[in-house]
Amino acid sequence: MRAFLGTGLLGSNFTRALLLKGIEVQVWNRTAARAKELEQYGAMAFENAADAVSGADIIHVTVKDDAAVDEVLAHASTGFKPGVIIVDHTTTSVKGAVKRTTEWKDKGFFYQHAPVFMGPSNALEGTGYMLISGDQAIAQRLLPELTHMTGKLVNFGEEAGKAAAMKLLGNLFLVTFTAGMSDTLALAKALNIKVDDILQLFGEWNPGSTLPARLKRVASGDYSTPSWELNMARKDTGLFMDAAKEGGITLNVIPAIAHLMDSWIEKGHGHDDWSIIGHIPS
């Protein structure tokens, strides 16, 4: 039997997916009505977290942050079955994931952080990505249970907290990628380009396919053989900003990137590959 603590958009659909597989699920949510809604699908809702975890072999957690995870587990712990495994899908800090791994093990329980790149529809359909790391004996015990909850389960090895770190890296990329998309749409508006035209461009030319090679280049630290000189990239960046200004549009991300480019050019790197702007000095 499973327990789910936190039945927001993600937790509720994870619960529904488990119920569709014939698995008994007990649920709790801070707003009790959200948990109660799942009774129509066969879940058993409880107003007390300790009651919701009673008898559960695996307890899933999907809440807001480190503080919420710690709070709900503290309240639920009086109902823990000996040796229960806690699977936390919450995006948390690395420090918090490591701390909980150690503290719950010391108390005779097992904490497995398993953050996800999944939306509500993924949770219901069993698609998307789930990340784990830490004690591999626990990971192997959970493998059959977690695999059917997601499209791909990615195991980052023995290091506790590494899955939390990888989740933060992925989310950072999504945030910056989307912010860049905002500037792209803003410039398109200034240039009177329709979204359908942008979709046609990226349907034919997929810049995302260059990501692995670009990441390797930046990580190598060698920018001496440019495919696009920083000076030329900075010139184009000026064209972006000029066109946006003429169209009465404000760009949010590009001005900061232009400032970064200028700082590298001032250091004498104008003829290096433009990807030097991604370099992190040692």
Whether residues 127 and 9 share a domain: the answer is yes
**pLDDT, position 241:** 98
Whether residues 240 and 273 share a domain: the answer is yes
- Percentage above 70 pLDDT, the chain: 100
For the segment 226-250, the average pLDDT, to the nearest whole number, is 97
Last residue of a domain, one of 159, 176, 206: 159
Mean predicted lDDT score pLDDT of the chain: 97
**pLDDT, position 186:** 97
Residue 86 vs residues 102, 108, 110, 250, 259: alpha-carbon distances, Å: 12, 11, 6, 46, 46
**pLDDT, position 158:** 97
Query: What's the number of domains the chain is made of?
Result: 2
**pLDDT grade, residue 25 (50/70/90)?**
very high
Whether residues 144 and 180 share a domain: the answer is no
Write the pLDDT tens digit of every residue in 98-152: 999 999 999 999 999 999 999 999 999 999 999 999 999 999 999 999 999 999 9
Whether residues 65 and 135 share a domain: the answer is yes
**pLDDT grade, residue 275 (50/70/90)?**
very high
For the segment 180-191, the average pLDDT, to the nearest whole number, is 97
d(CA 268, CA 282): 18
pLDDT reading at 166 higher than 80: yes
For the segment 219-241, the average pLDDT, to the nearest whole number, is 96
Whether residues 151 and 174 share a domain: the answer is no
CA 269, 270, 272, 273 dihedral sign is positive
**pLDDT grade, residue 281 (50/70/90)?**
confident
**CATH assignment at residue 245:** 1.10.1040.10
**pLDDT grade, residue 174 (50/70/90)?**
very high
Last residue of a domain, one of 159, 190, 210: 159
**pLDDT, position 195:** 97
Whether residues 57 and 90 share a domain: the answer is yes
Task: Please state the pTM of the whole predicted model.
Answer: 0.93
Domain span holding position 134 = 2-159
**CATH assignment at residue 96:** 3.40.50.720
Whether residues 47 and 95 share a domain: the answer is yes
DSSP string, 191-224: TT--HHHHHHHHHH--GGGGHHHHHHHHHHT--S
Whether residues 131 and 194 share a domain: the answer is no
Write the pLDDT tens digit of every residue in 51-105: 999 999 999 999 999 999 999 999 999 999 999 999 999 999 999 999 999 999 9
With vertex at residue 121, the alpha carbon angle to CA 115 and CA 124, rounded to the nearest 5 degrees, is 80
Whether residues 234 and 178 share a domain: the answer is yes
The amino acid that residue 18 corresponds to is L
Nearest CA among 101, 132, 130, 102 for reference residue 118: 130
Whether residues 151 and 189 share a domain: the answer is no
- List 111's β-bridge partners, or say none: 86
Whether residues 41 and 153 share a domain: the answer is yes
Last residue of a domain, one of 110, 137, 159: 159
Whether residues 86 and 118 share a domain: the answer is yes
Helix or strand holding residue 154 (H, E):
strand 152-155
For the segment 245-249, the average pLDDT, to the nearest whole number, is 96
**pLDDT, position 282:** 75
